[in-house]
A and B are shown apart, each in its own frame.
Chain A
Amino acid sequence: MLRRVLGQTLGFVGYTIQYGCIAHCAFEYIGEFVVCSGPSMEPTIVNHDVVFSERMSRHLFKIQKGDIVIAKSPFDPNMNICKRVIGLEGDKICTSAPSDLFKTHTYVPKGHIWLEGDNLKNSTDSRSYGPIPYALIRGRVCLKLWPPHSFGTLSESPTQRIIKSPSDSDSD
């Protein structure tokens, strides 16, 4: 009697461990669902939207300029930020405000990326805290799932902040 209960408990524990590990691998290497909050990515992503962020691009180092990414906040690793990639390592970034007379530029250092929100007036991003290391990226947002009327892939950057270098392909 006791042996049967023990056998069943061990079997249950074994299955839990196995499915837990499969779930970990799915969330870590395939993708995860993210609920976004805050106004910094309006109008592309608004408060309480649910998006799907895939992990493969990040592990294969295929994140590109113009992608929307989820990253760990550089000031609090338990918090996530959702922003658009404006520049990769080596890219030129315009750091002056549009109203300035003299334009200043900076180059993104090796191993870092420059993030900005789509809602430039209401977003704390690399314009205030500088470029962040690439390894803080968690995933690339590829699909918006909720609300249903805006289901689908996400649009291009509404701000004209991405400077296309001559080597970029003109396929869009």
Chain B
Amino acid sequence: MAQQMTTGQRYLRAFVSGFFVAVPITVTVLDRLAYVARVEGASMQPFLNPGGGSECDVVLLNRWSVRNYQVQRGDIVSVVSPRNPKQKIIKRVIGLEGDFIRTLGYKNRYVRIPDGHFWIEGDHHGHSLDSNSFGPVSVGLLHGRASHIIWPPNRWQQIKPSLPLNRGPLDTEEKQE
């Protein structure tokens, strides 16, 4: 090894060692801790993207809280689309495994969600590709839970789990119609 390095060689060495530190840490943080995603489309209106195409919301996805696949009803989650593995869709969790759901436009009127699956729906019914089209979704496709809206600044807020009215699992007494 040469005793003295030129300035160029020193910068190259610093860059390469910094690169090998920064890239794995960034990749691990994005895979395990948190992810930032822009919401496109109108399927979650009016809660997300109320302004339509003019300005899209950007949400913070918490990946650490879903490491054990624990979600609550009413959470907004991002899921890998069962129709297209290259795309992620962001929807609300309506029911968990074992629940009875009254569907909107699915081939069966009532569905019992199988083990290891859950039921997701967009808030804007009719403009949403969700479980009403492709049925219960496997929990293994869960990607992250949307915890905060971080852009635009005037819509900065924490997202709390809330089920829409009349969209929720049926209790056994309700089913006598």
Contact = CB atoms under 8 A, between A and B. Distances in A.
A72 interface: yes
B24 A18 contact: yes
Interface stretch (B5-13, B79-87, B152-160): B79-87
Contact of A24 (B32, B81, B138, B141): B32
Given A61-B86, A135-B85, A75 B80 contact: no
B115 A133 contact: no
A77 B114 CA distance: 13
Given A111-B85, A134-B85, A135-B85, A72 B24 contact: no
Contacts of A17: 25
A69 to B, nearest CB: 13
A169 B19 CA distance: 41
Query: Main SS of the interface on chain B?
Result: mixed
A24 B24 CA distance: 8
Contact of A78 (B31, B69, B117): B69
Which size bracket describes the interface of A in this complex?
Answer: 20 to 34
Q: How large is the interface on B (under 10, 10 to 19, 20 to 34, 35 or more residues)?
A: 20 to 34
A75 B81 contact: no
Contacts, number: 73
A132 B142 CA distance: 14
A8 to B, nearest CB: 19
Given A18-B25, A74-B116, A24 B31 contact: yes
A140 to B, nearest CB: 15
A87 B84 CA distance: 16
A135 B141 contact: yes
Contact of A111 (B25, B32, B82, B140): B82
A136 interface: yes
Contacts of A134: 85
Interface string A20-49: 111011001100000000000000000000
A41 B114 CA distance: 26
5 contacts: A18-B21, A61-B85, A72-B138, A75-B116, A77-B140
